[in-house]
Amino acid sequence: MIVFFKERLAFLSVPKTGTTAYEKALAPRADMLISEPPMLKHAPVYRYNRFIRPMFLNVCDAELELMAVMREPISWLGSWYRYRQRPFMEGKPNNTFGITFDEFVLAYMKGNKPGFADVGSQSKFMETQPNGTGITHHFRYEDQQRLRSFLEERLEMSLSLGRENVSPKMAIELSPTVEKRFRRKFAAEFELYESIP
């Protein structure tokens, strides 16, 4: 999570959406940067609302706008699948070695997900809270130019981005049958993604 107090903006870090590169580039400009532990670095809207928002509201009388990046849902799962095939994951319980992408997505669709497929939900991460706290500015991972332009204009700076925390490159394919089931069961993910300009 990256906070810019003067600009009244908090950039929430949705996992597997390239935010680590933005954290690194924006760290010198940020007023607050939470990069560890992962539960706080990747604090979803509900956790921001419960712990971070009251701090700014009660101490500084300030309400921040929230921004977040969303990745196309199948691509997002593909990134998780590939990420868990990094060499050092071998032998660890959450690795995806020996598991096809179809098997990974089918496991993700289970009510009781096995550890290797328990990666959360982008729409749940960004879910607006009963008090109205929600994402003010949504961006598609696939539209880096819009995201970058927004930040450069809002923060009055130019950005130089590197590549960080990248998943291994590999060809993955989801069978039409599994894709159809996934799109039906997780329609809210696709609806949210399609709603982003």
Q: Give the model confidence (pLDDT) of 105-130 as tens digits.
A: 999 999 999 999 999 999 999 999 99
Q: How far apart are the first and last CA of the chain?
A: 23
Average predicted confidence (pLDDT) for the chain? 95
Q: How would you classify the pairing of strands 2-4 and 32-33?
A: antiparallel
Residues facing residue 66 across a β-bridge: 10
Dump pLDDT digits (tens) for 126-176. 999 999 999 999 999 999 999 999 999 999 999 988 776 667 788 899 999
The answer on pLDDT for 179 being more than 90 is yes
Can you tell me the distance from the alpha carbon of 112 to that of 105, in angstroms, rounded to the nearest whole number? 13
Angle between helices 144-155 and 19-26 (to 10 degrees): 20
| Residue 59 phi, psi (nearest 5) | -90, -40
| All residues at 6 or more sequence positions from 93 whose CB lies less than 8 Å from its CB, including other chains | 115, 116
CB 174 within 8 Å of CB 74: yes
Sign of CA dihedral 9, 32, 189, 124: negative
Using CA atoms of 87, 20, 13, 26 in order, give the dihedral in degrees to the nearest 10.
170
Q: Kindly report the pTM of this predicted structure.
A: 0.93
Q: What domains are defined for the chain?
A: 2-195 (3.40.50.300)
What is the predicted pLDDT for the residue at 164?
67
* Per-residue model confidence as pLDDT tens digits over 15-58: 999 999 999 999 999 999 999 999 999 999 999 999 999 999 99
**H or E element at residue 25:** helix 19-26
pLDDT band, residue 95 (cuts 50/70/90): very high
What pLDDT was estimated at residue 163?
74
Say whether 70 sits in a helix, a strand or coil: strand
pLDDT value for 47 = 97
